Structure 1
Amino acid sequence: MLAMISNTLLTQLAIFGCVAAAVWAAIEFLGAGGRSRAEERLDEYQDSRKGPRAAATKNDSMSKLIAKASPKLSAPLQPKTAEEQGKIKQKLAHAGYRSENAVTIFLGMKFLCLMVGFFASGGTMLYLKGVNIEALMYTVGISGVMFYLPDAFVWIRKRGRQDCIFFGLPDALDLMVVCVEAGLGLDQAMRKVSEEMQKSYAVLSDEFRLANLQLQMGAARNEVLHELGQRTGVDDLKALAAILIQADKFGSSVAQALRVQSDSMRTRRRQMAEEKAAKTAVKLIFPLVIFIFPAIFVVLVGPAAITMINEMFPAMQGK
């Protein structure tokens, strides 16, 4: 009896010691090695000044791990031709992923999601339903959904970036018109727009900053403007690039071209708002019929139905 009690006590003490050691190690790891609060505040201040670069250094180990594993994971899904690879690269560029290994990481994530979906769904279906056709169909369906999950994420990010650029472009054009009419060149106007719109429209500001950086590196203005439209995938930005290229080629007024493009974009935005407002009545039919009309029917007809039941049933029973 004493031996059993001693063994149980030793087991409990061992578990407590392991948990305490794990908690202590976690506290030491999160406490950044016992540094003072002043040092932590200085690091936070430096990280805030560094901006996105500091956030990238914090995830440096994870990025290196993904970069090392991606070539092996993406090997079965590598495109056969340069045209297919160019389409994938352009799709990722529209979503904001422009690094050299973006295609490899994307294909590696697709293959990883496929394997995770296959093993997770296969194990679950094997435990719940056993080995049969239904379990195989569920496994294949869930694996297919997981395989296209990175594509859905890229598409959502692409739409968000394109909407941000579309809604911020008229304001950017108005600011460029003011800068050009004040005597600045197109390059200086793009730099000023990227600086002023950093907080309101960060995506558009980053695109203009990248274009301005390419101009400073010596690239031709026509190529930079054309790449600006192709890189984002926004039709309005492509039209703006074409107008600026034409104005630069023929020597016409850049301010007038920007003003006309800004007015046309605002007209298009107003037309889109009017179109959505016109569709509202049609879209309200389904919630009205499914949710609101039954409630109104119960409120209006319910008391009359209860009165009829209370009055008619006793009369019918009396006969």
Structure 2
Amino acid sequence: MLLILAFVLLVLAIAAVGTAFAKEQPQGLARALEALERSGQAGHELAEEADRSFADRIIDPMQERALILGRRMTGADKADRIRRKLDFAGNPRGWSVDRVVSLKVLFAVVLPICLLAYGLLLSLAPAWLVVLAIGGTVLGFFVPDLYLYQAAAKRADKIKRGLADAVDLLTISVEAGLGFDAAVQQVARNTDGPIAEEFSRVLREMQLGLGRSEALRSMGARSNVEDLHTFVGSMVQADAFGIPIGQVLRVQATEIRTKRRQYAEEKAQQVPVKIMIPLILFILPCLFVVVMGPAVLTAMDNFNAQ
């Protein structure tokens, strides 16, 4: 009886294992359907990978690795300085501190490689190749800084040109009976360029609960224009001491317009100096060729005839 019972239990165990195995390993049509489903999933994954852009597949991972290396190379206060440069440049769309750091590393690697390849094509000496590599590394590391500096200079020039008109409109609005917030809104609506963006941001910050003085100080901190700093300081002092804003705006409008006229005269006086470089390098050589060329050719023919 014990042998029969053991035999029955063994048969039941084998049957249970066989059933489980049959469920785990489908046979016939089920196995074919499962294989097709797996191949479809793999093809779907490959299609998704192929649909990704070149930037998502190549550039973004490179920027992440460059960001890690750049954070190790830059100091702790470098992020604050880059953020300040971004504020001066108007915070270009898509630009952040991490992107600037990663681009500095990428340009420091890619630019010397390109210069070395160009030097090898020209068959330059090894000393010149070393100079190109070092110069390309240094230049590539500072390319994002140069871009931000140029963007900040253009933005500062636009602010200098548009600040006088904005303050005039602000003065007229306040003297017409509008409050300071409504006058700022009029400036933001009826002007364009960086100065309109700055006044719009001041208005949004005041609507979010920030004080007038703090919002104006933030606007001055986001720019390196001295006239704007003077205007902000005057408005903050007027708000602190209770001086009528209309009177302060009238004085500031007169001073800023005078400074803008002086700034235009200064730029006009720089034109003769700036035009000397293209004049000497490009215009005068052409004139010398046109004027002296026939005389030189005639002299050469006379000498050859003798």
TM-score w.r.t. the length of structure 2 is 0.69
CA distance in 1, matches of 2:136, 2:108: 9
* Conservation of the 8 A alpha-carbon contact between 2:63 and 2:106: no
* Conservation of the 8 A alpha-carbon contact between 1:71 and 1:105: no
1:224 equivalent in structure 2: 215
SS of 1:158's equivalent in the other structure is helix
1:24 equivalent in structure 2: none
CA distance in 2, matches of 1:130, 1:185: 69
Q: Does 1:182 align with 2:139?
A: no
CA distance in 2, matches of 1:121, 1:299: 38
Matches within 5 A, 1:66-77: 70-77=63-70
1:244 equivalent in structure 2: 235
SS of 2:210's equivalent in the other structure is coil
CA distance in 2, matches of 1:214, 1:128: 57
Q: Does 1:164 align with 2:158?
A: yes
Candidates 167, 174, 178, aligned match of 1:173: 167
* Cα distance, 1:111 vs structure 2: 0.9
* Conservation of the 8 A alpha-carbon contact between 1:118 and 1:143: yes
2:132 equivalent in structure 1: 138
Deviations 1:244-289 (A, max 9, x none): 1111111112112112112111111222222333444455556666
Q: Does 1:111 align with 2:102?
A: no
CA distance in 2, matches of 1:208, 1:301: 59
- Equivalent pairs: percent with the same residue? 33
* Cα distance, 1:171 vs structure 2: 0.5
* Conservation of the 8 A alpha-carbon contact between 1:215 and 1:224: yes
* Cα distance, 1:129 vs structure 2: 3.2
* Cα distance, 1:147 vs structure 2: 2.1
2:17 equivalent in structure 1: none
* Cα distance, 1:136 vs structure 2: 2.1
Pairs aligned (count): 254
* CA separation of 1:159 and 1:283: change in aligned 2, threshold 3 A: closer
Q: Does 1:150 align with 2:144?
A: yes
TM-score w.r.t. the length of structure 1 is 0.66
CA distance in 2, matches of 1:130, 1:173: 58
List runs of 5+ in structure 1 lacking aligned partners.
1-28, 30-59
* Cα distance, 1:301 vs structure 2: 7.5
- Alignment RMSD (CA, Å): 3.8
* CA separation of 1:295 and 1:148: change in aligned 2, threshold 3 A: closer
Which one has the largest radius of gyration? 2
Q: Does 1:215 align with 2:206?
A: yes
Matches within 5 A, 1:1-319: 70-78=63-71, 79-81=74-76, 83-97=77-91, 102-126=96-120, 128-129=122-123, 132-197=126-191, 201-283=192-274
* CA separation of 1:194 and 1:71: change in aligned 2, threshold 3 A: same
CA distance in 1, matches of 2:197, 2:236: 21
What amino acid is aligned across from residue 173 of structure 2 in structure 1? C
SS of 2:164's equivalent in the other structure is helix
What amino acid is aligned across from residue 266 of structure 2 in structure 1? E
